[in-house]
Chains A and B, each alone.
Chain A
């Protein structure tokens, strides 16, 4: 298992750069690190809103929300989510929020 160091913090990540311990290891430094590799110029309130909603939903339900639920609760259409996170809600937003890597035939 690889580790990533950013601003004095160490994170355990898998080969795709997702946190292997999930939200246990999640911190502001992680958000900053993912921002630097996901092609996000500036972290806005809209980014924050998506991360907060993902984390709340995961804590409550144990799964990441379906894309339609994410769109409905944030009020952002999928197009806007892609503008905020160019790699998309799975590879971009879930990674930044410290959720498990999406599985299945992806």
Chain B
């Protein structure tokens, strides 16, 4: 039966969870589950897995905008129907993977993908820049300091050759979050693009009473800058509200998340910070957080040229200088961060010096350093 708004609990199905993934397996995956011997990257975007039964699975990885229409998904399904017996999968970086069980089926699939313009760019494997893990931005969220889809498109247009080739020392993961809630992977990515604010919130005393649980707004502040206050609203009535100590505020926007009457986004104030050097894998060195290297770049839609140039500059400096297998963070740690700033020609500012609680451990407690020349 269709949903009956008069009787919402009737015929209600709940707690059934996602369908079991095994139902969606291509036959070759089902038959060889847990039996894979080795794999190789045939060429950028094409993987080959060989099973102990001798079976082969070829995977073609294509870039995806993440934010897609049903039309796009139907087109992906059409391709999967035509070449892969109706099976397709998405990766954890939101690429699409088509799998076929014979080498002879690879080229027709690649030709088909290529015939659809640049809608399905093949790549994203090996030492490359794969897809950018990103967030909602101005498409859907209410706390962003920058856009997500727009910046990602501008950056990937510039780095496109690194998506379709494997010409880097190691893989370079790029991520974007549109505010420092950091939904996604910016805190642990080789190059991270992060939306930040630079102005304290404005308190709307007229609206705060019915909208906001004031103790939550106070407790949400990591620096204790939000204090309870009794103020007069615009009609002269005394109400309970909050006061923001602008000297203590670092514009994180947590209070706005908790209290809709404290907005802080600003066309000039909000923009982008760049962090580098994070990773999640345990290969060679352990996982690390990314570190702030560029404190502010303006929001310049639709192409964000400053951000694109900064990302490209960092990527190219790393690609030209790092050793094989060396991720951005490992490279920066080996040569020393002062050399990183010199080679990437990024001016070092006081904003990169940690001053939050456990900051001390991030300062230099040794005489070991290298002289650099780029800061006059």
Contact B209 A104 (CB under 8 A): no
Q: Mark B31-55, 1 if CB is under 8 A from A, else 0.
A: 0000000000000000000000000
Residues of B near A58 (CB, < 8 A) are: 213
Q: Is B202 in contact with chain A by the CB < 8 A criterion?
A: no
Interface size bracket, B side:
10 to 19
Q: Is B8 in contact with chain A by the CB < 8 A criterion?
A: yes
User: What is the interface of chain A, defined by CB distance below 8 A to chain B?
Assistant: 19-22, 24-25, 39, 58, 61-64, 86, 99-101, 103-105
Contact B215 A20 (CB under 8 A): no
Q: Is B210 in contact with chain A by the CB < 8 A criterion?
A: yes
CA distance A31 to B260 in the complex (A): 24
Contact B257 A19 (CB under 8 A): no
Residues of A near B257 (CB, < 8 A) are: 103-105
Contact of B213 among A20, A64, A105 (CB under 8 A): A64
Contact B210 A19 (CB under 8 A): yes
Contact of A100 among B7, B9, B211, B240 (CB under 8 A): B211
Q: Is B214 in contact with chain A by the CB < 8 A criterion?
A: yes
Contact B9 A20 (CB under 8 A): no
Smallest distance from the beta carbon of B260 to chain A beta carbons, Å?
7
Residues of B near A99 (CB, < 8 A) are: 213
Closest to A1 in B: B207
29 A-B Cβ contacts within 8 A?
A: A20-B207, A20-B210, A20-B211, A21-B209, A21-B210, A22-B210, A24-B209, A24-B210, A25-B210, A39-B7, A39-B8, A39-B9, A61-B215, A62-B213, A62-B214, A63-B213, A63-B214, A63-B215, A64-B213, A86-B8, A99-B213, A100-B211, A100-B212, A101-B260, A103-B212, A103-B257, A103-B258, A104-B258, A105-B181
